[in-house]
Structure 1
Amino acid sequence: MTVQTSPYTLCDTYEAASLAAEELSASSTLIVDCEGRDIGMPDGALSIIAIGDATASKIFLFDVLALTDPADPLLAPLRSLLRRPDITKLMWDGRADFTEIAEAYGVRMEGVLDLQLVEVAQRWRRKRKGCRRQQHTADYFKSLKDELTEDPAALDGIHRLYGLEHCAGMYGLIKKGEGKNHEVVAMHEQDRTEMWMQRPLPEALLAYSAHDIHIIAQLFARFEKKGHYLDDQEALKAISARYMEACPTRELRAKHAQLDLCKFVPLDVLTPPPDGIPTFECARCERVLSLRCFSTAARPPSDSEESKAAGPASDAAAPAGLTSEEVTAEEGQTTITWRLTLCRLCSLLARRHSEAALGEWVATTTD
């Protein structure tokens, strides 16, 4: 199937933005995607907010550079639209978009359903040996193959992400050569995203922005046909909300990108941290995570064990598959366990990249 592109409407006046937002507000499900200069990074800036209905039959491109005043009353319908929890916003890896919309318009989007996580959730359920989607994560850690063969549970709960176009290709929605504009893709790869800030915006960039809405619409339609993919949308929205908030600042996102963390689902996202469980800061990614996100042991590892730095793993827990020896304590007792100062994902990445700092084992107590 080839993704077809239909016309879009450019909204570069407050009046046009107001009318478009009013029209879109009649839909219960929308698709949202953003373009701009290094979005989500410290010098990031929005250029276009693209919003379409669930079938991409209507697409509006909101020109953020022409709509700079968030207090203008004519922008109230757009801000309300983005904020409304009763309108589902379909996205694909909306983390940077979420941050930039909050920066530009002071709106923290609600009702987000990130289809990238829908794919991951289904991948986790399909634990068929040799499955290409399952192998996607293991392939990234080929340098640790011997260790992971010995302890395959070390990858439980670690999920490498697919890009939008790659995933659409896997589902047969686009063929090779029918995807995104290669010149625009090259522009992104060469860090020339400043082009999104020029005006008038070239037609190629406007069409590129609208094209992503079409791809997301096609994936949504395919997931709907699968039935069970979208069985519990409220649970998927809760996962998506944690995904949006997992990297709350541009500076932390820049660090995570440098550390290759953005290629993976952040820990403590696919399932919420259990109430009352201790939390700790990872020494590498600086995220505050529940104890289950760290490798743990009942005793300090020996030198040979510590050289692996991964720690023991236990059975996976659905749907995130995160592993650890969780700490419990009876009344009046103190339980002592040892944990690695790097979360399980950071530990794998640090060893893959032969980093000098692989974490330390520290004693943890709970009363």
Structure 2
Amino acid sequence: MAQMPEQTTPTVVDSIDSLQFLIRELINQVEPKTLYIDLEGINLSRHGTVSFLTLLVNYGGVHPDHLYLIDIHTLGSAAFNTSSTTLALNNQSKTLKDILESPTQTKVIFDVRNDSDALFSNFGIRLQGVMDLQLMENAARKGNVRGKKMVHGLAKCIKEDSNLSEDQKIKWELAKEEGRRLFAPELGGCYEVFNERPLKKEIKAYCEQDVWFLPHLYKVYRDRLGIGYSEGPNWYKAISSETAKRLEESRSETYEPQGRDKALAPVWETSQYV
């Protein structure tokens, strides 16, 4: 059984000083890194607000992963428009918006659509450099076309592809359930709890839990695509193309954040990506 991903104490970013420190860390590290991102909010979309951006920085084993919980509700637009106090390697000042919009900085997000919609509608951010992990799972899933017709949710991916032991699954599910009780109306909760300060420990844990698994799932699906298929490289191009379509769709005037067709997977035609 795989071990639970090593979890260090997350850093809460809720002030300009802590935000500038984070940006310095992101732009001044020489080693290549991958950013794993998840957003939480109230009706997260163009019709709602963003409360938190959870950011896990993965250095590919050179340094330990570190997780940042960026308090968007407290910082507002300053979270994205504040410049670092030092210059990047190219002698330019950077903001979190610059990093999110950079086509050369790899970002991994599970189902990017509503996150992209919320960032674009509320803060004018056009995400680039994204690999959609939900699309990667669908492309990597073994079986025939019928078995790939629908996309999976993140919880199903964690349960089936993270190889957690039963004890680890119980611990993860408990943390998720404790958070849901506080914000899900059908369980007696209220979404406004995401914007209450000080932040309840159950909500903090809820925001953190899933992101820890993203690097492991990314490796699982990447390995499947590279080893399990003779045309492996074409799959990466196909996923990048479908991710770009999702980003474009999420910024369109006709995008429906809760549309029923969002459960449908794309039809994969990798031959066109030779």
TM-score, normalised with respect to structure 1:
0.58
Please point out which of 153, 159, 164 is paired with 1:169. 159
Distance in 1 between residues matched to 2:263 and 2:20, nearest whole Å: 36
Look up the equivalent residue of 2:241 and give its one-letter code. Answer: A
Q: Alpha-carbon deviation of 1:121?
A: 1.4
**Contact map agreement 1:40 1:250 (CA 8 A) in 2:** no
C-alpha separation in 2, matches of 1:206 and 1:102: 24
Task: Map 1:1-367 onto structure 2 (within 5 A).
Answer: 1-4=2-5, 5-25=7-27, 26=29, 27-40=32-45, 42=47, 44-54=48-58, 57-70=65-78, 72-74=81-83, 76-123=94-141, 126-127=143-144, 134-135=146-147, 159-174=149-164, 175=166, 176-180=169-173, 181=175, 182-187=177-182, 189-190=184-185, 192-226=190-224, 227-228=226-227, 231-232=233-234, 233-248=236-251, 252-254=255-257, 256=259, 260-265=260-265, 318-319=269-270
1:111 maps to a residue whose letter is G
Q: Secondary structure at the match of 2:95?
A: helix
Deviation at 1:41, TM superposition (A): 5.4
Consecutive unaligned residues of structure 1, counting only runs of 5 or more, are: 129-133, 138-158, 272-317, 321-367
Cα gap change, 1:119/1:72 in structure 2, threshold over 3 Å: closer, same or farther?
A: closer
Rounded to whole Å, the distance in 2 between the matches of 1:98 and 1:254 is: 10
| 8 A contact 2:81–2:95 mirrored in 1 | no
CA contact (8 A) 2:249 2:255 kept: no
Whole-Å separation in 2 of the counterparts to 1:40 and 1:215: 24
Q: Is the 8 A contact 1:184 1:208 kept in 2?
A: yes
Offset of residue 252 of structure 1: 3.7
Select the structure of larger CA radius of gyration: 1
What is the rounded CA distance, in whole Å, between the counterparts of 2:267 and 2:249 in structure 1?
A: 11
Letter in 2 for 1:65: H
Which is bigger in relative contact order (C-alpha 8 A, separation at least 6)?
2
Q: Is the 8 A contact 2:136 2:222 kept in 1?
A: no
Q: Provide the C-alpha distance between the structure 2 equivalents of 1:8 and 1:255, rounded to a whole number of angstroms.
A: 31
Letter in 1 for 2:4: V
Q: Secondary structure at the match of 1:47?
A: strand
Give me the identity figure in percent.
21
1:284-315 CA deviation, whole Å, 9 max, x = no partner?
Answer: xxxxxxxxxxxxxxxxxxxxxxxxxxxxxxxx
Aligned residue number for residue 309 of structure 1: none
Q: Which runs of 5+ in 2 are unaligned?
A: 85-93
Q: CA RMSD for the aligned pairs? A: 2.8
Paired AA for residue 56 in structure 2: G
Aligned residues: 239
Supply the AA of the counterpart residue of 2:104: D
Instruction: Answer 1 or 2: which has greater helix percent.
Output: 2
**Residues 184 and 251 of structure 1: CA distance in aligned 2, closer, same or farther (over 3 Å):** farther
Cα 1:207/1:121, change in 2 over 3 Å: same
TM-score (norm 2): 0.75
Q: 2:54·2:207 contact (CA, 8 Å) conserved in 1?
A: yes
Distance change in 2, residues 1:41/1:263 (3 Å): farther
Shift, 1:88, TM fit: 0.8
